[in-house]
Amino acid sequence: MLESATIHAIADTVDWAQSSASTIAKFTDAHPDMSIDDSYAVQDELLRRWEAKGRRLAGLKAGLTSKAKMEQMGVDVPSFGMLMHDTCYPEGSQIPMVGLIHPRVEAEIAFVTKTELSGPDVSVAEILAATDFVQPALEIIDSRFEKFKFDLVSVIADNGSSSRFVLGGRPMRPEALDLSTVGIVMEQNGASVAMTSSAAVLGHPARAVQMLVAWLHGRGRSLSAGSIVLSGAATEATPVEAGDAITARFQDMGSITVQFV
């Protein structure tokens, strides 16, 4: 493990890069021995600071849970990160480009839990039973690393590129649809840019929640009731610019539109 002073210094850098929309070099350039555990220790330190400033945790994100995303980013292990309440935008809103570096948009299925989930191997059935509703989501990721290039250790320390997220469409009870085959189409200014099925996320997006709960368990934690969980993008992320309108249509679950300004 890195020294705690180094973890704090890396948290300083992430916090500064995120709040000033500045790019930084990968942390592994300066710290070749940095581990995934170190990166999650950076996330813990970030959360401690953000909560001390009155920011609130809304939930957690799983990322790099589909082959398309793993290949796009050149990594082969999922990442977990924090979703802060003040980064949630309403559906239909205009999202300012100010404060963002080189944002990309992902269509994801969100789970909102009603009971706590814990343990090393909760089943998909237990996850669905603990789910209050599932809902279409857009995640706006914005890596703080130059040219959106990173390794797993660095991206986790950057809170999994989290920057904004949007929930919309129709919240649905999970048993009201087959979550393993939800068709998803993403459009940029009316043109289709991504088309996929929810199956692209580990065969069933609840498996991303399952991995998240197992990972939390390994850290002596659980997923608390009322958490929002983003299960990860089923397609490659789409780069956006000011003026772009993005619509994601989810089979039987409605659609979400946002505009970047």
Applying CB under 5 A, the residues found at the interface with Mg ion are 63, 106, 139, 233
> 144 Cβ partners below 8 Å, 6+ apart?
14, 17, 18, 22, 23, 24, 101, 158, 161
- Kindly tell me which of 2 and 102 has the beta carbon lying closer to Mg ion: 102
**Under the criterion CB under 6 A, does residue 184 sit at the interface with ligand OOG?**
no
Determine the angle formed by the axes of helices 4-20 and 36-52, rounding to 10 degrees: 60
Query: Which residue has the closest beta carbon to Mg ion?
Result: 139
Rule CB under 6 A: is residue 161 a binding residue for ligand OOG? yes
Could you say which DSSP state residue 221 is in?
-
Residue 151 amino acid letter:
D
Sorted by sequence, the CB contacts under 8 Å of residue 35 that are 6+ apart come out as 1, 2, 153
- Among positions 29-68, residues that touch ligand OOG (CB under 6 A) are 61, 63-65
Give the residue with the Cβ less far from ligand OOG, 85 or 114: 85
The DSSP secondary-structure symbol of 219 reads T
Q: How far is the CB of 230 from Mg ion (least distance, A)?
A: 6
Half-sphere exposure of 226 (CA within 13 A, CB side): 4
Interaction between residue 232 and ligand OOG (CB under 6 A) = yes
Q: Which listed residue (130, 155, 194, 200) binds ligand OOG by CB under 6 A?
A: 155
- Quick check: 73 binds ligand OOG (CB under 6 A)? yes
Q: Counting contacts by CB under 6 A, is residue 69 touching ligand OOG?
A: yes
Q: Is 160 in the site for ligand OOG (CB under 6 A)?
A: yes
Applying CB under 6 A, the span of 33-41, 45-53, 136-144, 212-220 interacting with ligand OOG comes to 136-144
**Structure-block tokens of residue 139:** 């995640």
Closest to ligand OOG by CB, 144 or 176? 144
228-230 and 238-239 beta bridge pairing: unpaired
How many residues bind ligand OOG (CB under 6 A)? The answer is 16
